[in-house]
Chain A
């Protein structure tokens, strides 16, 4: 069976800096994997390699068995990137309309609007939306091509509690359909709430992995366990 995502001994070097040093990671169907790590641990590099935005220095990244750069892979994986700013003068439905045209089997507009919780905002321009609503638009354009693997790079950074909970609900609904998610986050409570499996990376390699219960061990919270782990290394 082809795994949604597979990293095999992946390294990535930028000049003198080794961002990934032999990363091994598999995402299975129906799994939501939370990728945790301090700044500089290699999370963004791993995400970029998985999306085919940068080529690993060595090792192999596969998306459903294919090179992430293949058009075939790009129709099955979609991403919500943390840095993205969207052209502000286009309306919500226009953004979705455009992105839907990239895919062979896009979802219906109404369905995407509902899955992202954007009802009533279809005609609003991106620049007029609140931070939480803007994130949901990014979530919608990631969903519209009907992907089997969703990559969420710090999707709730900067959102208030309510907006964060709303997005969690939509992420859970996506996973409930049997598809997979790779989530990076700085909110460990978010990993605890959503992840079927937690992977901690440090200095470009996997430091620990398991359910959030297993990672927690005897610590009171995932955060305590995470800090302990970083201090020990």
Chain B
């Protein structure tokens, strides 16, 4: 138990001492929300206003970023450094290592979501009912699990230097095509049809549903898609973890 707590403690200290890496992850979605959600806030996106819609989708965007970077890039870097290998020679439960990164990603996600709601309430004129706010928070933080799994899969297959650009290359287009930057209904029909295959689309629809702004598709389908994606990403990550064992000779 002490190991779990210490892993979490030092994971946080590492992040605090490297604000140049942790701050952009937090600020990126907030700044985007101010540009699009506040400036174009009064436009309608169907059932709800843009300023409401984008709280849900930039919330999803922020959570995905924190998960992908917190897991993907940091695992890739620590693998590349040989640091994970040193830890694997010890009796450390590997679960403690991942639990610390999961805790980290969730706290970052929580900070982003709370900041977004604050900016929404003060600048965007979006006042959520307490129950709505809690439900949205819960959906967004819960959904981070799928993207932590994706991050982990990337972390085991990316090199330490290529991880950050590669994660961006996946993260940004995925977010756009899933309707996280501008409402999905503003995108061409072909893109909308394609989005059903992207996990962030299902994530954002679940979040939008809390605010009454989803497209009204089945909740079970969204949850099923998120779970299926999480399982596939975990399987890929596990394959990468096993592959590490066969590597290097001399």
Residues of B2-49 whose CB lies within 8 A of A: 2-3, 6-7, 10, 13-14, 17-18
Query: Is there a chain B Cβ closer than 8 Å to A19's Cβ?
Result: yes
Query: Is there a chain A Cβ closer than 8 Å to B193's Cβ?
Result: no
Assess whether A84 is in contact with B86, with CB atoms less than 8 Å apart. yes
> Which chain A residues border B85 with CB–CB below 8 Å?
53, 81, 83-84
Residue of A nearest to B88 (CB): A53
Assess whether A77 is in contact with B249, with CB atoms less than 8 Å apart. no
Query: Is there a chain A Cβ closer than 8 Å to B132's Cβ?
Result: no
> Which chain B residues border A53 with CB–CB below 8 Å?
85, 88-89, 245
Query: Is there a chain B Cβ closer than 8 Å to A1's Cβ?
Result: no
Query: Is there a chain A Cβ closer than 8 Å to B118's Cβ?
Result: no
Q: Name which of B76-84, B123-131, B166-174, B179-187 contacts chain A.
A: B76-84
Query: Is there a chain B Cβ closer than 8 Å to A183's Cβ?
Result: no
Assess whether A14 is in contact with B246, with CB atoms less than 8 Å apart. yes
Residue of A nearest to B4 (CB): A101
Residue of A nearest to B7 (CB): A98
Interface size bracket, A side: 35 or more
Assess whether B18 is in contact with A102, with CB atoms less than 8 Å apart. no
C-beta contact mask, A29-64 vs B, less than 8 Å → 1, else 0?
000000000011111110010011111000000000
Assess whether B13 is in contact with A94, with CB atoms less than 8 Å apart. yes
Assess whether B3 is in contact with A102, with CB atoms less than 8 Å apart. yes
Interface size bracket, B side: 20 to 34
Query: Is there a chain B Cβ closer than 8 Å to A71's Cβ?
Result: yes
Cross-interface CB contact of B90 among A87, A102, A138, cutoff 8 Å: A102
Cross-interface CB contact of A44 among B10, B90, B246, B249, cutoff 8 Å: B249
Cross-interface CB contact of B91 among A55, A75, A79, cutoff 8 Å: A75
Assess whether B90 is in contact with A43, with CB atoms less than 8 Å apart. no
C-beta contact mask, A88-124 vs B, less than 8 Å → 1, else 0?
0110001001110111000000000000000000000
Query: Is there a chain A Cβ closer than 8 Å to B248's Cβ?
Result: yes
Q: List 14 A-B contacts (CB under 8 A).
A: A43-B250, A44-B249, A48-B248, A53-B89, A53-B245, A74-B90, A79-B89, A81-B89, A86-B81, A87-B14, A90-B13, A98-B3, A101-B3, A103-B90
List the interface of chain B (C-beta within 8 A of A).
2-3, 6-7, 10, 13-14, 17-18, 78, 81-83, 85-86, 88-92, 245-246, 248-250
